[in-house]
A and B are shown apart, each in its own frame.
Chain A
């Protein structure tokens, strides 16, 4: 039994298009999970399936080890990819309204609206209409709306898209705060550097199927290749490791991609016979490369 969200074998067909062909996703409590995939991979459909917005053809969505109920869904905070706000409502009013719909009493909803507006940096814009805010600030309101009822599960669809660096930092902090209070947080993003920094666990999907899931370190470790980078003390010698594929590199540096099973110590010793080695790094590829390997692009 898993505490938190567990999605298994989701299938969904829209007419002739098979949008989901077996999606598995786990978001335990107190964990931040990156949900990655190229456009059209099925991320948004999966999220809508969890929210009950789209009926699935097959598969299970469970929460704390039992099928997710309508009541459980009241404890979900959702930030859709295409922002969903009423343009002619005021910031405080909007956040409080969503709090009310999520089951908060009037006083608590109003109090939380002020707290969250302040937390996302909109304390002085509380009485402004949503339509008067910039896109970035509207996104901050959207985040506040998703969090006003302190959800047990937070689903964020492309939350970083279009945000400036300050807003990215605020959002990242808020997401970590939610994890700290034992909420399950899942977010999708195409900014893989951000995902690598923020999420310990990731699930990668493509063509409606889960391709890989695990910690970032595990996924990188599962890659069939390693990156070797040698910094030479003098001019770059004419040296290549066996089975190595050379990559472009700056002066006094050699870069290669070698099979994962290669013994790094042997390579370094061989390199040292060709020139003085100043420094060496031998690492699995970054998340972006792992992602591209898995989605076949």
Chain B
């Protein structure tokens, strides 16, 4: 029966326009990101800045040197201004026919201000040319000059070299945190609305003729949870395919090591929050009252998300982060990022997962008990005090 209830949830929710649209948009965004990012840098590098240099009686060797030093950075063309008067040269600069003029001396003539990128390339080219001329004057042959001008090989090493995959690791951690924050929120509210719909349409009376409240609860939590996983799988598959096909970024093998932890955390988060939202949905009879009962659930969600964001790049082993890792309502957000950051001991992982499983079990048990009394309750909202009494085994008057 749990399977039947779950399957109905999946079938009816998955065919709604809103679910299809949201999934479509998320997949499109996941695929478009790497594709666009791959296309944009190529376009930029292909477009080199064009620079026109006016030459007044300058050796051919200088042109060659300038071209050699600006290759790949600037698109340089030359214009011979020999024979022009000083005024003519300045007019060429004023009219933007050239960007600078190289006169004998050598002298660089600019219009109003110096272009430092062009200046650096031209200075270096002129220095090189001067060294060649002086070398020949001193009687050095071409080989000696070439050896003289060969730059020294400089090697580098790092005391704490950054892992090349760290960026990807942080990105995946952030995705895990976002998923653990967003999915329980979106699909938990869907679970709540589903419970309220069953109460407000009175279909609950017909259902409870054949089902135990616990069966109904389990089916709903599993069905909506499976729908969330389905959406996540579709979106992540799109993202992974786009990353692999575009070669935008190489996915390091270490990432796959903590993907299972992310999945377990997300599943745990969905189970615990869907159960919680279902329980809260049973306290009300109208969708208008939903915001009142949902507010407390957002406190642990927001706390986990904000602390998690800081811990992704900051200290992932602080007391607060450790405490929130062990708390079942925030564990789904904390655990994946700490594993990704390699900032958690294996025993802590085991303890966190055990506490999470216990939290889910306890909440399902309490929710089942409360559900029996609240599902058929209509009219005013059941208060927090009554909820506590019900969870302790009291009955509704």
A positions within 8 Å CB-CB of B: 14-15, 48, 51-55, 73-74, 76, 78, 80, 82-89, 93, 97-98, 100-103, 145-146
Which single member of A54, A55, A87, A98 contacts B201 (CB below 8 Å)?
A87
Known: A15-B397, A97-B4, A101-B1. Contact between A74 and B203, CB under 8 A? no
Please tell me if the beta carbons of A101 and B211 are within 8 angstroms of each other in the complex: yes
**Contact of B203 with A88 in the complex, beta carbons under 8 Å:** no
Tell me whether A74 and B12 are in contact (CB under 8 A): no
A53-B205 CB under 8 A given contacts A14-B397, A101-B1: yes
Flag B190-212 by CB within 8 Å of A: 1 or 0 each.
00000001100111111111110
- Contact (Cβ within 8 A) A48 B12: no
Residue ID in chain A nearest B372 by CB atoms:
A55
- Contact assessment for A54 and B209 in the assembled complex, using a CB-CB cutoff below 8 Å: no
CA distance A52 to B207 in the complex (A): 12
User: What B residues does A85 contact at CB under 8 A?
Assistant: 201, 203
State whether A53 and B203 are in contact (beta carbons under 8 Å apart), knowing that A15-B397, A100-B4, A101-B4 are contacts in the complex. no
| Nearest 9 interchain pairs by C-beta | A84-B203, A84-B202, A101-B210, A15-B397, A82-B202, A84-B206, A80-B205, A78-B209, A100-B4
B8 at the interface (CB under 8 A from A): yes
Q: How far in angstroms is the closest Cβ of chain A from B337? A: 37
Q: Mark B337-369, 1 if CB is under 8 A from A, else 0.
A: 000000000000000000000000000000000
**Residue of B at shortest CB range from A101?**
B210
A97 contacts B8, C-beta separation under 8 Å: yes
Chain A nearest CB from B386 CB (Å) reads 12
Contact residue among A53, A82, A102 (Cβ-Cβ distance under 8 Å from B208): A53
Is the beta-carbon distance between A86 and B201 smaller than 8 angstroms? yes
Q: Which residue of B lies closest to A106 (CB)?
A: B4
B188 to chain A, nearest CB (A): 19
Chain B stretch 175-227: residues in CB contact (< 8 A) with chain A: 197-198, 201-211
Complex: A80 Cα to B199 Cα, angstroms? 13
**Contact of B16 with A83 in the complex, beta carbons under 8 Å:** no
Assess the A84–B201 pair: CB atoms within 8 A: yes
Residue of B nearest to A77 (CB): B209
Neighbour of A84 across the interface among B8, B16, B204, B397, CB < 8 A: B204
In this complex, what residue of A is CB-closest to B194? A86
Which B residues are in CB contact (< 8 Å) with A145? 206
With a cutoff of 8 Å between Cβ atoms, the chain B residues found around residue A76 in the complex are 209
User: Which residue in B16, B197, B206 is a CB contact (below 8 Å) of A98?
Assistant: B206
Query: B376 within 8 Å of A by Cβ?
Result: yes
Interface string of B69-108 (1 = CB under 8 A from A): 0000000000000000000000000000000000000000
Q: List 15 A-B contacts (CB under 8 A).
A: A48-B205, A52-B208, A78-B205, A80-B205, A83-B202, A84-B205, A85-B203, A86-B12, A86-B203, A87-B197, A87-B201, A93-B11, A98-B210, A145-B206, A146-B206
Neighbouring B residues of A146 by C-beta, 8 Å: 206
> How far apart are the CA atoms of A103 and B211 in the complex, in Å?
10
The answer to whether A51 and B4 touch across the interface, beta carbons within 8 angstroms, is no
Q: A73 vs B1: C-alpha distance in the bound complex, in angstroms?
A: 15
> In whole angstroms, how far apart are the Cα atoms of A237 and B155 in the complex?
134
Given A80-B202, A84-B203, does the pair A53, B16 have CB atoms closer than 8 Å? no
Q: In the assembly, what is the distance between CA of A76 and CA of B211, in Å?
A: 12
A148–B395 Cα distance when bound, in Å, is 33
User: Which chain B residues have a beta carbon within 8 Å of chain A's beta carbons?
Assistant: 1, 4-5, 8, 11-12, 16, 197-198, 201-211, 376, 395, 397
With A97-B4, A101-B1, A102-B210 as known contacts, state yes or no: A88 contacts B16, CB within 8 Å. Answer: yes
- Given A15-B397, A51-B208, A100-B4, 16 more A-B residue pairs with CB atoms under 8 Å apart are A14-B397, A48-B205, A51-B205, A53-B209, A73-B209, A78-B205, A83-B202, A84-B201, A84-B202, A89-B12, A97-B4, A98-B206, A101-B4, A102-B210, A103-B210, A146-B206
A112-B206 Cα distance, complex, nearest whole Å: 18
Q: Once the chains are docked, how many angstroms separate the CA of A184 from the CA of B166? A: 71
Chain A residues near B397: list those with CB within 8 A.
14-15
**Could you tell me the distance between the alpha carbons of A130 and B77 in the complex, rounded to whole angstroms?**
75
Bound complex: CA of A98 vs CA of B395, how far in Å? 29
CB nearest neighbor in B for A76: B209
- A99 CB to nearest B CB, Å: 10
Which partner residue on chain A sits nearest B1 by CB separation? A101
Measured CA separation A76–B209 after assembly (Å): 8
Which residues in B have their C-beta under 8 angstroms from that of A87? 197, 201
Q: Which residues from B are CB-within-8-Å of A80?
A: 202, 205-206
Complex Cα gap A82–B203 (Å): 9
Shortest Cβ distance from residue A145 to the other chain B in the assembled complex, whole angstroms: 7
Give bound CA distance, A259 to B197, whole Å: 55
Closest to B11 in A: A93
- In the assembly, what is the distance between CA of A55 and CA of B396, in Å? 11
A48 to B210, CA, bound (A): 13
Q: In the complex, which residues of chain B have a beta carbon less than 8 angstroms from the beta carbon of A84?
A: 201-207
Across-interface contacts of A74 in B (CB, < 8 A): 210
In the complex the two chains form, what is the Cα distance from A48 to B206 in whole Å? 10
Bound-state CA distance A15–B386 (Å) is 14
**Alpha-carbon distance A50/B313, docked complex (angstroms):** 61
CB closest residue in chain A, given B209: A78
Shortest CB-to-CB span from B383 to chain A, Å, is: 15
Which A residues are CB-close (under 8 A) to B207? 84, 101
Interface core residue of B1, B12, B202, B205 (most chain A CB under 10 Å): B205
Q: Would A78 and B8 count as touching, CB distance under 8 A?
A: no
- Cα distance A164–B8 in the bound complex, in angstroms: 32
CA gap between A73 and B211 in the complex, in Å: 10
> Across the interface, which residues of B come within 8 angstroms of A86, CB to CB?
12, 197-198, 201, 203
Measured between alpha carbons, how far is A203 from B299 in the docked complex, in Å?
54
Name which residue of chain B comes closest to A151, CB basis: B209
Residue of B whose beta carbon sits closest to that of A90: B12
A-side contacts of B203, CB under 8 Å: 84-86
Residue of B nearest to A149 (CB): B210
CB of A54 within 8 A of CB of B376, answer yes
Identify which of A51, A55, A88 contacts B209 (C-beta below 8 A): A51
Q: Which chain B positions have C-beta within 8 A of A89?
A: 8, 12
**CB proximity of A192 to chain B, nearest CB, Å:** 25
Which partner residue on chain B sits nearest A109 by CB separation? B4
